[in-house]
Amino acid sequence: MERAFPNRIEAGRLLAEKLEKYADRDDVIVLGLPRGGVPVASEVAKRLRAPLDVFIVRKLGVPGFEELAAGAIASGGVRVLNEDVMRAIPHADEAIEIVTARETEEMQRREQTYREGRSAPELRDRIAILVDDGLATGATMRAAVKALRQRGAAKIVVAVPVGPPDTCHEIEEQTDETICLSTPEFFQAVGQYYEDFSQTTDEDVRELLTSAARDMPEGNRKE
């Protein structure tokens, strides 16, 4: 098996080494995909001395077949739909509106839980470094990239420790820069490439964001 990372923190440190050109820039923001991507993103942000935030994406599962994604919603009210799947769903518009309402509520709950009253950051004209603990199908990351484009990010960089070669290639075609540290040919699941892949909780995410907001110099905060 290719490289196993000790944990998400060490994976973040290794990713940061590949992102050093973005250090100490006031137009850079590091965005972790909750939950598991936030500890990785936290280490990247620390080493680049850049602000850290979350970018929340919720999959819109097909009713009755929730694992099949009809689309996704992301922070800022952006919705991306998979037209091929939509065409195959009976009464698709009504069904997806119901799912969208439910997932929007959950996304808003997470926004409030994680930020504790802090406003969402301004992303227009900034370099957004999107970080997760790994890619599998890449559906969530693709939705996040599309949403960031709609939010007006100047440059989108995706950085992950591990992902299958085909998924990393697909993401690479949709971003300005993509870093996949490890691309094992016989990929099964992200967790198999970590020695410690324990669950990241809402509380973990909140603590990392609170700590990052407290430690970030005022001059680097853009809200």
Series of mean pLDDT values for 10-residue runs along the chain (223 residues)? 84 98 97 96 97 92 78 81 81 89 92 86 95 90 89 96 95 97 92 96 95 72 47
Query: What pLDDT score was predicted for residue 129?
Result: 98
Query: What pLDDT score was predicted for residue 65?
Result: 76
Query: What pLDDT score was predicted for residue 223?
Result: 47
Q: What does the pLDDT look like over 33-81, one tens digit per residue?
A: 999 999 999 999 999 999 999 999 988 888 877 777 788 888 777 888 8
Domains belonging to the chain, first-starting first, are 8-56+116-216 (3.40.50.2020), 59-114 (no CATH)
Query: What pLDDT score was predicted for residue 218?
Result: 53
Query: What pLDDT score was predicted for residue 184?
Result: 94
3-class DSSP string for the chain: CCCCECCHHHHHHHHHHCCHHHCCCCCEEEEECCCCHHHHHHHHHHHHCCCEEECCEEEEEECCEEEEEEEEEECCCEEEECHHHHHHCCCHHHHHHHHHHHHHHHHHHHHHHHHCCCCCCCCCCCEEEEECCCCCCCHHHHHHHHHHHHCCCCEEEEEEEECCHHHHHHHHHHCCEEEEEECCCCCCCHHHHECCCCCCCHHHHHHHHHHHHHHCCHHHCCC
Instruction: Say what the pTM is.
Output: 0.87
